[in-house]
Structure 1
Amino acid sequence: MAYNDSDFIITGLSTSIVEEKMRPSLTYWQDAWRRLKQNKVAMVSLAILTLLGVLCIIGPYLSGYKFEVTDSSSINIFPNSVHWFGTDSLGRDMFSRVWIGGRVSLLIGLIGTFISITVGTLYGGISGYAGGRVDHYMMRVIEILVSIPSLVMVILLSLYLGSGIVSLIIALTAFGWIGTARMVRGQVLQIKQQEFVMASISLGASPMRVIIKHLIPNTLGIIIVGITFRIPGLIFAEAFLSFMGLGVQIPNTSWGALAATARENIMFYPYQLFYPSLMIALTMLSFSLLGDGLRDALDPKLRK
């Protein structure tokens, strides 16, 4: 029996239709999770971040030493079977101090990111939805804030507010919401023209309900990706300020504060700088790679 090209085209179309019917229906978030799991680099990064988070919770209890207790007989001991990460110039256990410092660094990163994302999302959502003069003036405010060197303002706010975790979070989030606001505004300007938003407005929904119920949920993709990039940025900023002596102060500690303390003995006891620096690098790299994976997984253009 002879076959022509049209027979093969029809057969191929039939096969694809059957496969499409047999494939289970997935929601947007289920499909995003499926694609994220296929990204090995992103999953390894997620596993590393999970491990770091767990160690920050239980790590200080594993060594049996309290992070603030000094021991004059155990000063500057290199890593061994008793002090796994060694000790510092006051005889304090570095293993406990690294994970206590991780708690502070991650806490500042998470809380600061939550505040920045929340403020930026609401500001950008209102600006994009309102449009017109409201959008014009709100964007002019952002342009003025962008023109101010953020690092200088963070340092000045840190000096004005004083030391402490709360003042450090305020200083880091004072200008950290601007990028999120601009991204959310751009997304809202596109989404508000779609049919489901117009239908909700025609049914009498209030502007705040439209923003919270329809616009913000449809910008969650870029918000989640922004979170994964914002957290390491805040951790690095905290480490920089602590390294400059403007961050976390005694008796608290952080990865940046540990690195600042260790710089004085770097030539003789490099391990004191190595461990906090390694944790900062691992955390920033893992969040960046996870953010790349989430950006691909949440891209609707790549959905199959």
Structure 2
Amino acid sequence: MDISRDMFVKLDNKEEYKEEIVRVSMTYWADSWRRLKKNKVAMISIIILSVLILMCIFAPMLSPYKHEVTDTSNINAIPNMSHWFGTDGLGRDLWTRVWVGGRTSILIGFIGTFIVIFVGCIYGGVAGYFGGAIDNYMMRLIEILSSIPYLVMVILISLYLGKGMFSLILALTITGWTGEARMVRGQVLQIKEQEFVIAAKALGASHRRVILKHLLPNTVGVVIVAITFSIPGFIFSEAFLSFVGLGVQAPATSWGALASSARENLRFYPYQIFFPSLMITLTMLSFSLLGDGLRDALDPKERQ
């Protein structure tokens, strides 16, 4: 009886030892999220972006002032309890205008990024998958489009379609997808010779299915990082074009348009340009830091 008891104790100890050394199985995305949560800078960036987006959505609804309503009795008022960010040269409340302008700037960033990522993924995936002459001709087209300055494109489109949000997004995206197409093409060239792609072809999968179901999903990590860098790029481009008068036009507004209208009174009322500039800086910095965090979290070499 003592010998059998000792055998059971040894077996139990072995099972406990095995349970201790077995690592919990985690998927690639679960492990990436675990590593991202450890990056304090990236998590702070997510919080800042969430606060900015929520403020852009709800702050104008809760404000007693409309962004387009003027008040000649409160022209160029400094920040106070009634107008937290002060007023502009027409007496309009800057608190409301900053958040309404944030809606436009962030919306342009998201819409522009969606268009360039969608077009770039499809174009780059097709070019990388087929290769040869098709890839050669498609890449030559990208080189031609990339050589066209987007500022020239904005001016030409503004002349034909007028100034506004639609023409601005069209001008920024008509050639803006070329960088994403190059990136996706490079990833597809690395993936298409792997065993699971060859197996899909051997089983009779169509070119469309191989590209959409096997190649593009395996580039999603790189694409997500590209998204976080593309959104602030569009926001900065919109701010720059609005600052020089080629962007969003009144009565609509954006952070760039607010900064542009405040530059004339910069010496006397610096707060008018400070707040929209601060929002642009926080948004771009947060997206950039989040992109760095995602790049580290999605790197397969860092997986444990």
> How much has 1:120 moved relative to structure 2?
0.3
RMSD between superposed Cα atoms in Å: 1.4
> How much has 1:150 moved relative to structure 2?
3.0
Report how many aligned residue pairs link the two structures: 289
Contact 1:159 1:246 in 2 (8 A): no
The code of the aligned residue for 1:124 comes to G
| SS of alignment partner, residue 111 of structure 1 | helix
**CA distance in structure 1 between the aligned counterparts of 2:150 and 2:257, rounded to whole angstroms:** 21
> How much has 1:164 moved relative to structure 2?
1.3
Contact 1:63 1:83 in 2 (8 A): no
Q: TM-score, normalised by structure 2?
A: 0.92
1:56-71 mapped onto 2 (5 Å cutoff): 56-71=56-71
In the alignment, structure 1 residue 168 sits paired with structure 2 residue 164: no
**CA distance in structure 1 between the aligned counterparts of 2:123 and 2:20, rounded to whole angstroms:** 45
1:75 alignment counterpart: 75
| SS of alignment partner, residue 216 of structure 1 | helix
**CA distance in structure 2 between the aligned counterparts of 1:60 and 1:115, rounded to whole angstroms:** 28
**CA distance in structure 1 between the aligned counterparts of 2:185 and 2:18, rounded to whole angstroms:** 39
For residues 265-290 of structure 1, the C-alpha deviation after alignment (integer angstroms, 9 at most, x for no partner) is 11111000000000000000000000
**CA distance in structure 2 between the aligned counterparts of 1:92 and 1:100, rounded to whole angstroms:** 12
Q: What are the ranges of 5 or more consecutive residues in structure 1 without an aligned counterpart?
A: 1-14
**CA distance in structure 1 between the aligned counterparts of 2:147 and 2:247, rounded to whole angstroms:** 25
> How much has 1:16 moved relative to structure 2?
10
Do the aligned partners of residues 282 and 135 (structure 1) sit closer, same or farther apart at CA in structure 2, a change above 3 Å counting?
A: same
| SS of alignment partner, residue 247 of structure 1 | coil
The code of the aligned residue for 1:169 comes to I
| SS of alignment partner, residue 34 of structure 2 | helix
> How much has 1:156 moved relative to structure 2?
2.9
**CA distance in structure 2 between the aligned counterparts of 1:66 and 1:72, rounded to whole angstroms:** 14
**CA distance in structure 1 between the aligned counterparts of 2:292 and 2:21, rounded to whole angstroms:** 29
2:292 alignment counterpart: 292
For residues 169-219 of structure 1, the C-alpha deviation after alignment (integer angstroms, 9 at most, x for no partner) is 101101110000000000000101110111001111111111110111000
In the alignment, structure 1 residue 27 sits paired with structure 2 residue 27: yes
2:249 alignment counterpart: 249
1:11 alignment counterpart: none
Q: What are the ranges of 5 or more consecutive residues in structure 2 without an aligned counterpart?
A: 1-15
1:158 alignment counterpart: 158
1:248-287 mapped onto 2 (5 Å cutoff): 248-287=248-287
Q: Which has the larger radius of gyration?
A: 2
> How much has 1:144 moved relative to structure 2?
1.5
> How much has 1:102 moved relative to structure 2?
0.2
The code of the aligned residue for 2:213 comes to K
> How much has 1:61 moved relative to structure 2?
2.4
The code of the aligned residue for 2:212 comes to I
> How much has 1:19 moved relative to structure 2?
4.9
2:145 alignment counterpart: 145
**CA distance in structure 2 between the aligned counterparts of 1:191 and 1:259, rounded to whole angstroms:** 45
Stretch deviating more after TM superposition (144-153 or 40-49): 144-153
> How much has 1:165 moved relative to structure 2?
0.9
Percent of counterpart pairs with the same letter?
70
Do the aligned partners of residues 132 and 261 (structure 1) sit closer, same or farther apart at CA in structure 2, a change above 3 Å counting?
A: same
Runs of 4+ in 1 over 3 A off after TM superposition: 15-20
1:38-49 mapped onto 2 (5 Å cutoff): 38-49=38-49
1:217 alignment counterpart: 217
